[in-house]
């Protein structure tokens, strides 16, 4: 009798820190090793202790966002023999992200007194990096080449960020597919997902991020791009500047490519200076280094070289200075305390000629979340000591990096899996999928995996 099981190591069934344990007839795999973005200290970790020490045969990372890779060094410490499989861009971005995360955790230890931080150290990342195994897209590899049984894994481009992958795992004629975070449409720089044609896999582990997100039927990305160009133009014509707070990985490069397109289409003046800052610069260098080896709309376009983007003052910690007539794409996307976009906002928000343009999601509790809810003239608290009156224009645009719920539903219906696990979604997102899947796939068992509960398949 073969035994196949799945166990969620997440703190709760929600969008949080992602990690899942698979046991395929004796082959133990850890899928993703995320950090919870809203929890602190040891609570930010998945339940790694559910998997016996040094028992895993492999760790597989779908992509290099913090909620999927942010605690990989801790997972590797728990599973010292397990090689880590990931794509080359995922490794490059992930390594930079983990080092940055050590710095963030170290300052949180000092300022917030979180004594468990940092959860890992720079030297540990360098040491553990030796066990990372780079694998290409669409080429099956053996997980346990010396083992008795054969488990093969294939990465498929997930179109979500550079290096993101959906993961197909096969053993004893059984198939498991994990979507990771997926974007079927792609965006200005990166092409959309290229997933395999699945035929009744045993298990489909599917993200559900936008399940509660009812997008107007006449939405088009091209319209949103035009509106963003108009938002930038309005600020420039008013004698101000535009600030676009962006996530360092993905959104920064997507927005910069859009700005380059706007310039060549004549939507904004060609000479408008563009500044980036914070972690974005490092991540853009990595995006550029893969410009000719990944699927994209403009194959040889290198952002830093071709756009002559200004990266602010090179001296560490020197703040980027405000000038009128410019575009600032600064991380973090949620304008969290101590980040470049937050510090820059001190000298930006009170000027009515400026425009603050949001292109992504912000937690309601973050400064960006507070600004989205505020009215003109309100006083915004940026951190413990800085308060600024909000006089600039504020606009929001919809450029989600995740698939629309209807697209995910269609993907699942075409695959006809025996079991579907709905992950990476808040409860209202998951509950949109359940009746829809039950109707379209009456034979399929649809499950929202609860933390630590083993599901056999
Ligand atoms: Zn992601
Ligand atoms: Zn995610």
Average pLDDT over residues 222-243: 97
Query: What CATH number labels 4-213+401-456?
Result: 3.60.15.10
Model pTM above 0.75:
yes
pLDDT band at residue 392, thresholds of 50, 70 and 90? very high
Burial class of residue 316 (count of CB atoms within 10 Å of its CB; 0-12, 13-18, 19+)? exposed
pLDDT band at residue 311, thresholds of 50, 70 and 90? confident
Residue 300, CA distances (Å) to 245, 255, 289, 296 in order: 26, 17, 10, 9
Q: Report the C-alpha gap between 170 and 205 in whole angstroms.
A: 14
**Residues bordering ligand 2, an ion, CB closer than 5 Å:** 67, 181
Looking at all shown ligands, the one closest to residue 182's CA atom is 1
Domain 221-396 class?
Answer: alpha beta
How many Å lie between the centroid of ligand 2 and the Cα of residue 398?
17
pLDDT, position 148: 64
Residue ranges of the domains in the chain?
A: 4-213+401-456, 221-396
Judged by average pLDDT, the poorest of 56-65, 105-114, 137-146, 165-174 is 137-146
Looking at all shown ligands, the one closest to residue 16's CA atom is 2
Q: Report the C-alpha gap between 362 and 335 in whole angstroms.
A: 9
Q: Which residues pair with residue 330 across a beta bridge?
A: 245, 277
Average pLDDT over residues 191-202: 97
pLDDT band at residue 317, thresholds of 50, 70 and 90? low
What is the per-residue DSSP string for 405-429? Answer: HHHHHHHHHHH--SEEEEESS-HHH
Comparing CA positions, the residue from 219, 230, 227 lying closest to residue 185 is 219
The yes-or-no verdict on residue 221 having pLDDT over 60 is yes
In the chain, the percentage of residues whose pLDDT exceeds 90 is 87
User: 68-79 burial string, b = 16+ CB within 10 Å, else e?
Assistant: bbbbbbbbbebb
Sole residue written with tokens 């989205």: 372
pLDDT, position 1: 64
How many Å lie between the centroid of ligand 2 and the Cα of residue 159?
13
Q: Report the C-alpha gap between 56 and 51 in whole angstroms.
A: 8
What is the per-residue DSSP string for 271-331? Answer: T--EEEETHHHHHHHHHHHTTTTS-BSSTT--HHHHH--B---SSTTPPPPP-TT-EEEES
How many Å lie between the centroid of ligand 1 and the Cα of residue 269?
33
How many Å lie between the centroid of ligand 2 and the Cα of residue 422?
13
How many Å lie between the centroid of ligand 2 and the Cα of residue 452?
19
The yes-or-no verdict on residue 318 having pLDDT over 80 is no
How many Å lie between the centroid of ligand 1 and the Cα of residue 126?
23
- Any residues with CB less than 8 A from the CB of 301 and at least 6 apart, and which? 189, 257, 260, 291
Judged by average pLDDT, the poorest of 158-162, 220-224, 369-373 is 220-224
pLDDT band at residue 218, thresholds of 50, 70 and 90? confident
Q: Report the C-alpha gap between 154 and 150 in whole angstroms.
A: 13
What tokens were used for 450? 């609860």
pLDDT, position 217: 80
The yes-or-no verdict on residue 366 having pLDDT over 80 is yes
How many Å lie between the centroid of ligand 1 and the Cα of residue 63?
7
Looking at all shown ligands, the one closest to residue 207's CA atom is 2
Average pLDDT over residues 76-94: 98
3-state secondary structure of 371: helix
Looking at all shown ligands, the one closest to residue 37's CA atom is 2
How many Å lie between the centroid of ligand 1 and the Cα of residue 347?
31
Q: What is the pLDDT of residues 116-168, one digit of tens each?
A: 999 999 999 999 999 999 999 999 999 876 666 689 999 999 999 999 999 99
Residue 237, CA distances (Å) to 274, 353, 396 in order: 16, 9, 19
The yes-or-no verdict on residue 180 having pLDDT over 90 is yes
How many Å lie between the centroid of ligand 1 and the Cα of residue 321?
31
Q: Are 195 and 319 in contact (CB under 8 A)?
A: no
Q: Report the C-alpha gap between 75 and 144 in whole angstroms.
A: 19
The yes-or-no verdict on residue 348 having pLDDT over 80 is yes
What tokens were used for 411? 């993907």
pLDDT, position 186: 87
């Amino acid at each position: 009798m073969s035994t196949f099981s799945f166990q969620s190591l997440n703190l709760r069934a929600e969008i949080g820190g992602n990690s899942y344990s698979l046991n395929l007839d004796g082959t133990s795999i850890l899928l993703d090793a995320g950090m919870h973005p809203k929890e602190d200290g040891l609570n930010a970790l998945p339940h790694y202790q559910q998997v016996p020490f040094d028992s895993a045969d492999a760790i597989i990372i779908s992509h290099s966002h913090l909620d999927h890779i942010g605690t990989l060094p801790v997972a590797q410490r728990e599973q010292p023999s397990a090689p880590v499989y990931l794509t080359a861009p995922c490794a490059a971005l992930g390594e930079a992200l983990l080092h940055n995360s050590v710095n963030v955790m170290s300052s949180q230890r000092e300022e917030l007194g979180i004594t468990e931080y940092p959860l890992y150290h720079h030297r540990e990342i360098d040491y553990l990096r030796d066990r990372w195994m780079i694998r290409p897209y669409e080429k099956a590899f053996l997980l346990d080449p010396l083992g008795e049984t054969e488990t093969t894994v294939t990465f498929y481009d997930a179109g979500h960020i550079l290096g993101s992958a959906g993961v197909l795992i096969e053993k004893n004629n059984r198939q498991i597919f994990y979507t990771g975070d997926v974007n079927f449409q792609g965006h200005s720089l990166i092409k959309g997902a290229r997933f395999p044609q699945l035929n009744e896999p045993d298990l489909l582990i599917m993200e559900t991020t936008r399940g509660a997100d009812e997008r107007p039927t006449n939405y088009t990305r091209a319209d949103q791009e035009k509106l963003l160009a108009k938002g930038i133009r309005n600020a420039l014509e008013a004698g101000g500047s535009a600030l676009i707070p962006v996530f360092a990985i993905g959104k920064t490069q997507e927005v910069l490519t859009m700005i380059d397109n706007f310039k060549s289409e004549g939507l904004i003046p060609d000479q408008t200076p563009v500044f980036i800052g914070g972690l974005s610069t490092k991540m853009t260098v990595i995006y550029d280094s893969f410009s000719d080896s990944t699927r994209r709309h403009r194959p040889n376009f290198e952002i830093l070289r071709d756009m002559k983007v200004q990266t602010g003052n090179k001296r560490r910690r020197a703040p980027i200075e405000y000038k009128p007539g410019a575009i600032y794409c600064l991380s973090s996307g949620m304008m969290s305390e101590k980040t470049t976009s937050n510090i820059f906002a001190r000298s930006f928000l009170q000027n009515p000629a400026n425009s603050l343009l949001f292109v992504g999601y912000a937690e309601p509790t973050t400064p960006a979340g507070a600004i989205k809810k505020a009215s003109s003239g309100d006083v915004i608290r940026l951190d413990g000591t800085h308060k600024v009156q909000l006089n600039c224009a504020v606009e929001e645009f919809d450029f989600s990096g995740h698939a629309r719920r209807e697209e995910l539903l269609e993907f699942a219906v075409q695959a006809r899996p025996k079991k579907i696990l709905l992950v990476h979604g808040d409860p209202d997102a998951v509950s949109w999928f359940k009746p829809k899947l039950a109707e379209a796939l009456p034979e399929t068992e649809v499950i929202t995996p609860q933390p630590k509960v083993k599901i056999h398949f």
